[in-house]
Amino acid sequence: MRIPNSIVLALGKRLCQQGSIPEPKLELEPVYGGDINLSFIAHTSNTPLFIKLNRNKPSDFFAAEHDGLKAIQQLQAVRCPSPLLCTQIENWHCLVMEYIPLKEHGLHGKLGQKLAFFHQKSTHSLKPYGFDKDNYIGGTVQQNECLPRWGDFWIERRIQPQLHRAINKGYKALLTLKTPTINAIKTALSDHQPAPCLLHGDLWSGNKAFDQNGEPVIFDPACYIGDREADIAMTELFGGFNADFYSAYSRIWALDKGYVNRKNIYNLYHLLNHVNLFGEGYLTSTMECMESIMACKPA
């Protein structure tokens, strides 16, 4: 889609006014691959920038991503693109950030190491589970109102909202599994009070890459404070993270033995979200996950 020249000119002026670029001129080069936003490399008179534009999402959609990137950046443990500007021009929402040339492969062990440091470093100053505002997991609102007990947070802010949404969309097969699955999660998490960590929140392989030196970069966060195991569990859900990643993470901060029983509980959230976003192609794997949770015995 072609962006109106008036929007490009206005965005250039705002970036120039805040000092991100010396001149207001922008030349946009489309970047393909995402399914939510329009993305561009913006060529300027000094350094390229990365720009996302959308006019279909809520006004706080990019603000949530901006806040997540800021939160990750402040810990200085793992690199993410530096957010520069979040603004609205007419009916277009715009997020501008540092442009980092990326490649698919790099130092996977370094990624595991840096993610462990990121989780470890964030435990020193964080409050109960949640975040200061709601944000988005893909295109779905992610509820983040804080709760003091992790099991309550996971059920009330993660699993129940997704289940309600899916059932209301017509996936009635989930009704019979709903109550026994929630009861099994309550039992599994009843005594589990993990160290509150800042999480990326949507750490699948498409949200990590490597710079031109092979150093890891993470992006497109859905941040909140929670159990670090939820980040690790999602890395296993769709693949794309190799053995070097897991061994390096474990050398810094090994996972508790109960993780093997909890990872399905954490990945159920993402499977339900995929049902809600993409349809019944994910329904069978979601129901299988729920059945595994119900059948699981404590470690």
Compute the chain's Rg from CA coordinates.
20
Cα dihedral across residues 160, 166, 168, 172: positive or negative: negative
Known active-site residue 202: yes
DSSP 174: G
Determine the Cα–Cα distance for residues 65 and 33; give it in Å rounded to an integer: 18
Locate all alpha helices (DSSP H) within the chain, ordered by sequence.
5-17, 61-75, 108-122, 150-153, 160-168, 175-189, 228-237, 243-252, 259-278, 283-295
Determine the Cα–Cα distance for residues 227 and 266; give it in Å rounded to an integer: 9
Determine the Cα–Cα distance for residues 80 and 203; give it in Å rounded to an integer: 13
Cα dihedral across residues 125, 130, 134, 136: positive or negative: positive
Find, among 84, 5, 31, 65, the residue nearest to 202 by Cα.
65
DSSP three-state, residue 199: strand
Catalytic residue, candidates 60, 67, 202, 244 = 202
CB 202 within 8 A of CB 222: yes
Which residues, in sequence order, are CB contacts of 235 under 8 Å at separation 6+? 203, 204, 205, 241, 245
Question: Catalytic residue numbers?
Answer: 202
